[in-house]
Amino acid sequence: MKKNLRTTLATAAAAALTGGLLAATSGTATAAPSGLQGDFNGDGYRDVAVSASSATVNGYKNAGAVTVLYGSAGGAGAEKIQTLTQNSAGVPGTAEAGDAFGSHLAAGDYNGDGYADLAVGSQREDVGSDTDGGAVTIVWGSATGLSGGTGVADPSPTSHDQFGAVVAAGDYNGDGKADLAISADNQKIDIYRGGFTKSGGTGGRYSLTAPVMAVPGFDIFYLAPGDVNKDGRTDLVVDGYEGDSPSEYSYNANYYLPGSASGLTTTGKVKLPAGVISDIGDANGDGYGDVVIGNSWDSGADSAGVAKGGAIKVVYGTSSGPNGGEITVHQDTLGVPGTAESKDNFGWEVSFGDINGDGRSDLAIGSPNEDVNGVANAGMVTVLYATETGFAETGNQGLDQDVPGVPGAGEAEDAFGGEVFLSDTNDDGNADLTVGIPWENARDGQIVAFGSNGTQIDPAGRSIGLGATGISAVGTPILGWLMTG
């Protein structure tokens, strides 16, 4: 039975429970870098990197660009916005048609200098005569922000393509250094140990074979890092196909791989519910990482979906891994805004973050195909507030472009909520919400930055479009497809 799953990927990079990746606490800006996760300029505010991997650069279509919304007292992008391409000074390579610079992103302090750096995948970069060989570049953080860059060497360029299709930062062996996991179009994950240098050095490398099915062209869809078992090491959720043969679309599978003193391992792996996008945060406040999985496709006789219009599952963490029970939430669940309708894609994107400062990770969920006031696929973001036993039955939020304060207006095919990302960008201790609208204005794309008011997300958002980023409107840039920080 064929299972026609989502075959293009937008991600919600893990922003919490990074297993010792960065241990510094939030505070006001000082002369020394803050050490905060995602703080590229070290000023004490978390920043947000946003992909536009289909952007045209100097006339080259789909060359790709990455925009950085620097945090400040006013939130992400209120004071400084920077856009990087392969034509930016010091960034390796040259912008070429189809490179897809920014096809995946992962923030981490790879060289241990206290400034967060950004790993950028260019999964369709031609490497010499190797078409679509793929490349990964680390763009370095500094007091002035991201600048320059160093390529990460592909260990086996002749055995795969699309190196850098997915990248994930974490301290997988618990040594206090940020490691980098990289996948290509096969079952292998290459893990580079922390200790990166600007001359191309690393702390070593090892690889493992993920327990997903080998499907020619694309085996691993997504990697979600976070510390589930509270041992100080980052664990990894790996997503891919699972089925009867490589010749068909198959059921989707997620596997939990624990970190260890020697790094990531398949020993002790745990199979998790199906779904493409996942994140790790502490939803019930017990200190263990919980795994949220978005299963956005519909239920039915020919679908692996669990609910009409899509659903999310939360699997709770314990000292022995993700085995503390699970809950399922959809738009017909009590207290969840909206109504479950076919093809809403509820769960297309998910992101954990503590919006109200109660020590529990709240959840933002994208439903980019939600019809709003009769407008097809205008899109919606659901914000669920976490409790010790699940999510609140009152006080949750549904945000769309027809809600007062939200910039713009709901239009057909906008896909508001095509990306969601929770992080504290104004250093008030509460997670703020950044939303991608990748199909806005005929796929130009757009971003909306919302702040937390200490209790919930304030609907009065700030719109950021191509004009503010300097990205060309030629072609279909799809600004807001992916975020990290």
Report the alpha-carbon distance of residue 58 to residue 179 in Å, rounded.
33
As a whole number of angstroms, the distance between CA 398 and CA 31 comes to: 40
Contacts of residue 453, defined as CB under 8 A and 6 or more positions apart, other chains included, come to none
C-alpha distances (whole Å) from 138 to each of 104, 107, 143, 400 are 12, 9, 16, 35
Residue type, 137: T
pLDDT at 58: 96
Amino acid letter, 171: D
User: Digits of tens for pLDDT over the chain (485 positions)?
Assistant: 223 333 333 333 333 343 333 323 333 444 699 999 999 999 999 999 999 999 999 999 999 999 999 999 999 999 999 999 999 999 999 999 999 999 999 999 999 999 999 999 999 998 888 898 899 999 999 999 999 999 999 999 888 888 999 999 999 999 999 999 999 988 899 999 999 999 999 999 999 999 988 766 667 999 999 999 999 999 999 999 876 544 444 568 899 999 999 999 999 999 999 898 999 999 999 999 999 999 998 887 556 788 999 999 999 999 999 999 999 999 999 999 999 999 999 999 999 999 999 999 999 999 999 999 999 999 999 999 999 999 999 999 999 999 999 999 999 999 999 999 999 999 999 999 999 999 999 999 999 999 999 999 999 999 999 999 999 999 999 999 999 99
Q: Residue 84: its pLDDT value, please?
A: 98
> Do 261 and 173 meet the contact criterion of CB atoms below 8 Å apart?
yes
* Residue 210 · residue 272 · CB < 8 Å: no
Q: Is 4 exposed, middle or buried (0-12, 13-18, 19+ CB in 10 A)?
A: exposed
pLDDT at 26: 37
- pTM for the model: 0.93
Please list the residues that pair with 48 across neighbouring strands.
69
Structure tokens at 413: 């095919």
Give the pLDDT confidence score for residue 138 in this predicted structure: 98
Q: What letters, b where the CB count within 10 A reaches 16 and e where it falls short, cover 137-149? A: bbbbbeeebbbeb
User: Comparing C-alpha atoms, which of 213, 216, 215, 175 is closest to residue 193?
Assistant: 175
Amino acid at 176: G
Q: Give residue 339's region: left, alpha or beta (phi > 0; psi -120 to 50).
A: beta
Tokens of 430: 């509460």
Cα torsion 30, 31, 37, 38 to 10°: value is 110
Residues 6+ apart with CB under 8 A from 162: 123, 124, 132, 133, 134, 184, 185, 218
Which two structure tokens, joined as six digits, stand for 412? 């057909």
